[in-house]
Amino acid sequence: MPVMLAICQRSFDVTWSAASFEAEFLKEHTEIYVYVKDKQLVAYLIIWAMQSEGEVVSLAVNKGFRNQGIASELLAYIFRIHGNIREWYLEVATDNILAINLYEKYKFHKMRVIKNYYGQNKDALQMKCQNI
Ligand SMILES: CC(C)(COP(=O)(O)OP(=O)(O)OC[C@H]1O[C@@H](n2cnc3c(N)ncnc32)[C@H](O)[C@@H]1OP(=O)(O)O)[C@@H](O)C(=O)NCCC(=O)NCCS
């Protein structure tokens, strides 16, 4: 977990605390995937998987390992193993163009803007995809 926390802190302006990660580990529907390269944990993906609905909760690839298809591989993997989940949701900062590009590549589309989701004047875009 310390490595995930460090990647998170390097990746986001509004970052999770150690307590948020711990709380996530205890939730019934949470699944946590990590990507290991050369014996190093270099990326993580946290999802909530319910019966017919899923949520991409957090995704980050450590600097130095980006643009190598790692986030794509993680997303493709969870869509494949959760073929039963029809609808996926996520929230992403409206100014995080790289991530929005990534999610659009995986057929997420923009649903609505949630004002101040990440704090004062930090809006989120809610996106949805149908896994068919
Ligand atoms: C967003 C993030 C997860 C992408 O991870 P990644 O492993 O570099 O992504 P991939 O190499 O799989 O790239 C997948 C797609 O993302 C988009 N993308 C990634 N890097 C990009 C860049 N520098 N410029 C433009 N688009 C980019 C592209 O659509 C790319 O597809 P393509 O290679 O076919 O053009 C990574 O940049 C990151 O950890 N950022 C900080 C944390 C974050 O923003 N997380 C997501 C918010 S919920």
Atom nearest to 58 CA in ligand 1: 48
| CA angle, residues 97, 127, 73, in degrees to nearest 5 | 70
Q: Each residue of 9-56: pLDDT tens digit?
A: 999 988 899 999 899 989 999 999 999 999 999 999 999 999 889 999
pTM, full prediction: 0.93
pLDDT at 15: 85
Q: Each residue of 113-128: pLDDT tens digit?
A: 999 999 999 999 999 9
Residue 131 pLDDT exceeds 80: no
Judge if the beta carbon of residue 8 lies within 6 A of ligand 1. Answer: no
Q: Is 4 left (phi over 0), alpha (psi -120 to 50) or beta?
A: alpha
CATH number at residue 74: 3.40.630.30
Domain count for the chain: 1
Domain ranges, residue 6: 2-130
Distance 65 CA to ligand 1 centre (A): 10
Q: What 3-state class would DSSP assign to 58?
A: strand
Pick the residue whose CA is nearest to atom 44 on ligand 1: 99
CA distances to 44, 84, 99 from 3, rounded to whole Å, are 10, 31, 21
Judge if the beta carbon of residue 68 lies within 6 A of ligand 1. Answer: yes
pLDDT band at 110 (very low <50, low <70, confident <90, very high): very high
